[in-house]
């Protein structure tokens, strides 16, 4: 790749790396709130000759917490929660200050706040926010050795911090879902075009370069993440405010098709090159024409020209003619023709979706049409609300009155152990272990997630401690530079939080090292060593307690998610097979379900993520094989619905109808057996293969040595059904199920011998 191409590639990657600029906006609000709070408090202290320097620190802490901890569902609820935070902080600081002289009474208060933070989550996010702020306020009151005489200035610092948090959250940087969606779509287009450019290089270059393939696969994986994020953005934004006339389902379908086109092209081009199909000059020319035309089309631009999509349509027509000619030659062109046909089908979906979006944007709605359109938009919103409520009801039954109680008990035991060990190890920072245990237990449902978070926290703290000590020594005595490094660490910690928890822990530890240097006039290696040791101990306590006390086993959590995933899959496959049988021209749209299934699979991966990626390491339960098998099912299922004709109108021949009905029954039966095994229910039924039905359809009736078009299309529609069932069979056998067709085959062989 040339130098200017490389620079363009990385520049585009940089702009696309933060879809919707969500991370940048969140980290920006945090750092601006912290800086405004600290400097305002320092200015007030200077003007009124105050000496309570900790007030500036508590102002910065509350400015940060007011942004990060508020997570209510609506903006109105968030505002109320934010306004309640000063009361919680003032109460906590006052208690921490006055109870510091009464032995371990303050320890009991801290432990109570920690337990309540977990337990009260079942009543809403507000109570967690209040308890979290209360805990951090007592923690810093203890860390800074606050005295009652300092309280007035501390109260002022609390009010200043929350005021700036409120202003940056709801006034200066008010959340605008439509603006976020528009940015996310822009990032998605940029990432898509990067993938298309790499695909074009692969098509044009006769040499297959492994490095280019790896880069392309990574780009497609990242694009999949962007599409999933956009699906979430669509649930909170009103699409018609950004692109008038365009519906939510219309945009979701376009994003899904664009993502699937890049995936299909990536896999197909690799296989086409290995089978030497791209040696056909005309096929290579048509593929380049299609990809370039779609890449250059700016579908959602305000000033849009249809030239590129029209060019893509012409290229697709050329591919159709080429396919028709090649299909007339019986078995001569090999299986790669089906790869080209899937590219043609999915590219056609993208082009049709792009044209429909542009038509909707350009259409001038009359009064009645506008009312009908808004009714459709409202019905979409109501449908989404019903789905969200159903999901929330499901979560309520499973988790809200179960998991919070478990986490509260775990926090009680882990907190008590942490406080005792804290006093045994030191008398100056006895709550460091408790802080780490508290944070590691937050947001970790299963033992596996707790283990991963504990490791990441410890590893990031070790690296951050080393880097922070070096940074503190490098900028020692230069207060301006120290402040710049301190604020930069805060910004990077929260900007990279969703990218890597290890990096977040790294920069948080750097921030602590610089803060200690500012407060204590110098940071020692012993102090940072104690910080690292306490972090490792706290993380270890959190993991051991989560493993020993009322554990949510990773295997059980993944099994529950797998059952939910397979239920969605069964519904999709049933509807798909009914679509093939009906022959009616009805729209087949699984995009919303596909994104939900994608999210469930990603959650499964997060619960089973391995820290070391060597084969078999830290994987005693075979999670890798389990997740990889479901990943294969998901891949085939997405391509099944993406490469099908969504407005099918074709009657199937009687022999095909019987085969399709049997395929439907087999798929449903196999999924039911797997879900019962995952739920630890006894099931003596055997899973079944589809070899017989596949042979029936592939053989089919022949006329003059040529395949019928009905058979060709049916083979195309069922292409991914076979690997889906094979993957399901593999999963069922791994779970202990028997396979009926293999038993019958072995029995036949025994009788014949």
Average pLDDT over residues 637-649: 71
Q: Is the pLDDT of residue 611 over 50?
A: no
Quick one: average pLDDT of 719-747? 79
Percent of the residues in the chain that have a pLDDT greater than 90, as a whole number: 21
- pLDDT tens per residue, range 690-711: 888 888 777 765 544 445 566 6
- Please check the confidence at residue 681 and state whether its pLDDT lies above 50: yes
pLDDT at residue 371 is higher than 70? no
**pLDDT tens profile 298-312:** 776 656 667 778 888
Section 680-693 average pLDDT: 82
pLDDT bracket for residue 515 (50, 70, 90): confident
pLDDT score at 538: 94
pLDDT digit string, tens, across residues 209-264: 888 888 888 888 888 888 888 888 888 888 888 888 888 888 888 888 888 889 88
What mean pLDDT, rounded, does the chain reach?
Answer: 80
**Could you tell me where the DSSP H helices lie in 173-329?**
177-204, 210-234, 239-242, 248-274, 281-296, 307-327
**Could you give the C-alpha distances from 362 to 306, 357, 618, in angstroms and in order?**
12, 9, 56
Mean pLDDT lowest among 4-18, 316-330, 376-390, 530-544: 376-390
Task: Report residue 159's pLDDT band, with 50, 70 and 90 as the boundaries.
Answer: very high
pLDDT in the model for residue 616: 41
Asked if the model's pLDDT at residue 148 lies above 60, the reply is: yes
* Confidence category of residue 618, pLDDT binned at 50, 70, 90: very low
pLDDT at 401 over 80: no
Is the model's pLDDT at 171 over the cut of 50? yes
- Return the H-helix or E-strand segment holding 686: none
Question: Which range (390-394, 586-590, 653-657) has the least confidence?
Answer: 390-394
- φ/ψ of 70, rounded to 5, equals -80, 115
8 A C-beta contact, residue 485 and residue 464:
no
pLDDT of residue 302: 58
Residue 305 region by backbone torsions, left for phi larger than 0, else alpha for psi between -120 and 50, else beta: beta
pLDDT at 390 > cutoff 70 = no
**Close Cβ partners of 243 (under 8 Å, ≥ 6 residues apart):** 251, 300, 357, 360, 361
Q: Could you read off the pLDDT of 36-89 as tens digits, one per residue?
A: 999 999 899 888 876 666 788 889 989 999 999 998 888 889 999 999 999 999
**Do 137 and 159 contact (CB within 8 A), yes or no?**
no
Task: Output the pLDDT for position 397.
Answer: 45
Residue range 279-288, pLDDT digits in tens = 788 888 888 8
Provide the pLDDT confidence category of residue 585 given band limits of 50, 70 and 90. low
For 231-240, 347-356, 501-510, 637-646, which range has the lowest pLDDT when averaged over its residues? 637-646
The pLDDT, as a whole number, for residue 622 is 57
Confidence of residue 656 (pLDDT cuts 50, 70, 90): confident
Q: What is the pLDDT of residue 378?
A: 53
Please report where in the chains the tokens 């801290």 appear, as a residue: 110
3-class secondary-structure state, position 649: coil
pLDDT at 161 over 90: yes
527 vs 523: CA distance, rounded Å: 7
Angstrom distance (rounded) from CA 433 to CA 110 = 13
pLDDT attached to residue 21: 80
Q: What is the 3-class SS of 69-95, one letter each residue?
A: CCCCCCHHHHHHHHHHHHHHHHHHHHH
Query: pLDDT: is 473 or 258 the higher one?
Result: 258
pLDDT at 418: 93
Confidence of residue 506 (pLDDT cuts 50, 70, 90): very high
The pLDDT of residue 555: 82
User: b/e map of 102-114 (b: 16 or more CB within 10 Å)?
Assistant: eeeebbebbbebb
- Identify the band that residue 398 occupies on the pLDDT scale cut at 50, 70 and 90: very low
Task: With cut-offs at 50, 70 and 90, classify the pLDDT of residue 519.
Answer: low
Angle between helices 281-296 and 177-204 (to 10 degrees): 160
Please compute the mean of the pLDDT values over residues 153-161 and round it to a whole number.
92
| More confidently predicted of 399 and 568 | 568
pLDDT of 330 > 50? The answer is no
pLDDT > 70: percent of the chain: 80
Q: Which of 219-228, 397-406, 428-437, 485-494 has the lowest mean pLDDT?
A: 397-406
Question: Structure pTM?
Answer: 0.80
């Amino acid at each position: 790749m040339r130098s200017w191409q490389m620079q363009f590639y990385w520049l585009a990657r940089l702009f696309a790396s933060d879809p919707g600029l969500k991370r940048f906006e969140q980290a920006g609000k945090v750092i601006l709130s912290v800086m405004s709070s600290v400097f305002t408090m320092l200015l007030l202290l200077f003007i009124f000759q105050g000496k309570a320097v900790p007030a500036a620190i508590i102002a910065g802490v509350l400015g940060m917490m007011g942004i990060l901890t508020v997570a209510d569902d609506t903006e109105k609820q968030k505002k109320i929660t934010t306004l309640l935070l000063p009361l919680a902080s003032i109460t906590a600081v006052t208690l921490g200050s006055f109870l510091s002289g009464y032995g371990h009474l303050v320890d009991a208060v801290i432990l109570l706040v920690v337990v309540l933070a977990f337990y009260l989550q079942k009543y809403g996010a507000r109570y967690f926010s209040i308890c979290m702020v209360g805990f951090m306020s007592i923690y810093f009151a203890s860390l800074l050795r606050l005295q009652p005489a300092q309280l007035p200035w501390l109260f002022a610092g609390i009010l200043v911090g929350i005021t700036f948090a409120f202003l940056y959250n709801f006034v200066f940087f008010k959340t605008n879902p439509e603006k976020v969606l528009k940015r996310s779509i822009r990032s998605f287009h940029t990432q898509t075009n990067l993938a298309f450019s790499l695909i074009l290089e692969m098509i044009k270059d006769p040499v297959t370069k492994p490095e280019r393939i790896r880069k392309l696969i990574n780009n497609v994986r990242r694009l999949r993440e962007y599409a999933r994020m956009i699906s979430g953005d669509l649930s909170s934004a009103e699409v018609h405010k950004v692109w008038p006339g365009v519906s939510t389902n219309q945009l979701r379908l376009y994003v899904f098709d664009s993502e699937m086109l890049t995936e299909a092209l990536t896999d197909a081009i690799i296989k086409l090159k290995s089978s030497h199909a791209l040696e056909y000059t005309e096929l290579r020319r048509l593929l380049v024409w299609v990809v370039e035309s779609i890449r250059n089309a700016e579908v959602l631009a305000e000033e849009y020209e249809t030239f590129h999509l029209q060019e893509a349509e012409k290229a697709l027509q050329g591919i159709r003619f080429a396919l028709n000619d090649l299909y007339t030659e019986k078995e001569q062109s090999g299986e790669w023709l089906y790869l080209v046909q899937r590219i043609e089908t999915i590219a056609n979906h993208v082009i049709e979706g792009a044209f429909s979006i542009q038509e909707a944007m350009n259409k001038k709605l009359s009064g009645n049409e506008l009312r009908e359109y808004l009714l459709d938009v409202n019905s979409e919103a109501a449908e989404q609300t019903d789905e969200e409520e159903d999901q929330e009801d499901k979560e309520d039954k499973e988790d809200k009155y179960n998991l919070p109680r478990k986490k509260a008990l775990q926090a009680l035991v882990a907190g008590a152990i942490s406080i005792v060990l804290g006093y045994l190890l030191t008398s100056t920072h006895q709550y460091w272990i408790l802080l780490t245990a508290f944070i590691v237990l937050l947001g970790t449902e299963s033992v596996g997630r707790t283990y991963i978070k504990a490791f990441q926290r410890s590893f990031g703290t070790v690296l951050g401690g080393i880097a922070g000590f070096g940074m503190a020594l490098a900028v020692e005595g230069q207060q301006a530079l120290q402040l710049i490094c301190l604020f930069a660490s805060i910004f990077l910690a929260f900007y990279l939080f969703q990218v890597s928890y290890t990096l977040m822990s790294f920069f948080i530890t750097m921030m602590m090292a610089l803060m200690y240097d500012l407060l204590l006039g110098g940071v020692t290696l012993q102090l940072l060593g104690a910080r690292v040791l306490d972090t490792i101990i706290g993380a270890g306590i959190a993991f051991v307690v989560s493993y020993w006390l009322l554990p949510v086993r990773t295997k059980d959590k993944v099994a529950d998610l797998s059952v939910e995933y397979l239920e969605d899959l069964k519904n999709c496959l049933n509807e798909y097979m009914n679509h093939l049988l009906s022959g009616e021209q009805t729209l087949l749209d699984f995009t919303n379900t596909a994104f939900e299934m994608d999210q469930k699979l990603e959650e499964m991966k997060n619960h089973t993520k391995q820290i070391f990626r060597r084969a078999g390491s830290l994987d005693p339960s075979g999670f890798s094989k389990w997740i990889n098998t479901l990943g294969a099912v998901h891949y085939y299922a997405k391509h099944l619905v993406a490469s099908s004709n969504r407005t099918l109108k074709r009657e199937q021949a009687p022999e095909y109808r019987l085969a399709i009905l049997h395929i439907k029954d087999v798929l449903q039966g196999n999924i039911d057996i797997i879900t019962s095994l995952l739920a630890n229910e006894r099931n003596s039924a055997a899973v079944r293969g589809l070899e017989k039905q596949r042979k029936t359809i592939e053989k089919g009736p022949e006329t003059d040595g040529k395949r019928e078009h009905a058979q060709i299309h049916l083979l195309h529609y069922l292409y991914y059904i076979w690997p889906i069932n094979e993957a399901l069979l593999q999963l069922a056998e791994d779970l202990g199920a028997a396979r009926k067709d293999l038993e019958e085959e072995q029995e036949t062989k025994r009788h014949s011998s």
